[in-house]
Structure 1
Amino acid sequence: MSHVISKNIRLWAKDVKEATVLQRDDQGRPHTVGYRASALGRSTHYTLEYDYSKAPNVLSWHLVDGDIMRSIRGAYTLKEDGAGTRVSYDLAVELVIPLPGFVKRRAEMRILSTLKELKARAES
């Protein structure tokens, strides 16, 4: 999973324009990563810190710094299901300014599209 973060994220997360590993943990995995992405029609910058303490089943992250986000907490949870691996995605985002409902729905649709891109990448 850490390889997807540091090397391949732009292959499946089309809104991510740049990902820079700022710090690695003692196993060489990305620990702190800076991102530049398109969000809601503008460019945004944010830094996430990754937590591998429950690896290999869970990869979680939280916001260290961001220009339009007050907080982000998320996680991928991987579970074997016989024929493959089921991935669950949890995400909570708090923005600096509130968004109208139609803008939130558009953002939700973009996140779902990105998850479909990740699924296609994982299955290829």
Structure 2
Amino acid sequence: MAVSVQSVTTIEAGVPEIMAVLADVESLVDWSEAHRAVEVREADDDGWPIVVWEQISQYGMTEEMVVRYEWYDGEVSWTLESGTNQMVQNARYVLTDNGDGTTRVVFDLEVELKAKLPGVVVKKAQKHIADVATAGLREEVLRRYG
């Protein structure tokens, strides 16, 4: 059964700056403590990453996965194409301009593992990942543009 979690934050930057950091997927190794390696395998004509290989390590588990990104105005989502430990991963950032130089960032994550673990364990790991996905993103955006 898939487990979902959401994390919300406000970043003192505009939507374009945040999207630029999100599009720089290879920098995930610098601001996401779980990411060990990232490689863009396919990009669109404008350079937006489409197919990305990632190696992550968390709670003693190493995962190699390939995800497919979809880019929209103020939104990015990805779905798992293949993974060593996951059957499902759907994730999405939705950015909303607050009109005051800040942006509301909502991160949604849904994961289903191949191995059956107690839902509370999966939920705890997801919550940590979601918090890193928003707090780490915020720190990186402010480092680059703040």
Q: Normalising by the residue count of structure 2, what TM-score does the alignment of the two structures yield? A: 0.75
Could you say what secondary structure the match of 2:115 adopts? Answer: coil
1:68: Cα distance to partner? 0.5
1:92: Cα distance to partner? 0.8
Matched, 1:47 2:66: yes
Q: In the alignment, what sits opposite 1:78?
A: 95
Amino acid of the structure 2 residue aligned with 1:19: V
1:109: Cα distance to partner? 4.0
Q: In the alignment, what sits opposite 1:37?
A: 56
Q: RMSD of aligned C-alpha atoms? A: 1.7
1:16: Cα distance to partner? 0.2
1:102: Cα distance to partner? 4.7
Larger RCO: 1 or 2 (CA < 8 Å, sep 6+): 2
Could you say what secondary structure the match of 1:98 adopts? Answer: coil
Identity rate, percent:
27
**What 5-or-longer segments of structure 2 have no aligned partner?**
1-18
Cα deviation code 1:24-69 (max 9, x no counterpart): 11211110000011032121100100011xx222111100100100
Could you say what secondary structure the match of 2:67 adopts? Answer: strand
Contact map agreement 2:33 2:132 (CA 8 A) in 1: no
Q: Normalising by the residue count of structure 1, what TM-score does the alignment of the two structures yield? A: 0.87
Cα deviation code 1:66-96 (max 9, x no counterpart): 0100011111001000221111111111111
**What 5-or-longer segments of structure 1 have no aligned partner?**
none
1:3: Cα distance to partner? 4.6
Match of 2:135 among 97, 116, 122: 116
Match of 1:20 among 26, 29, 39: 39
Could you say what secondary structure the match of 1:31 adopts? Answer: strand
Match of 1:68 among 66, 85, 88: 85
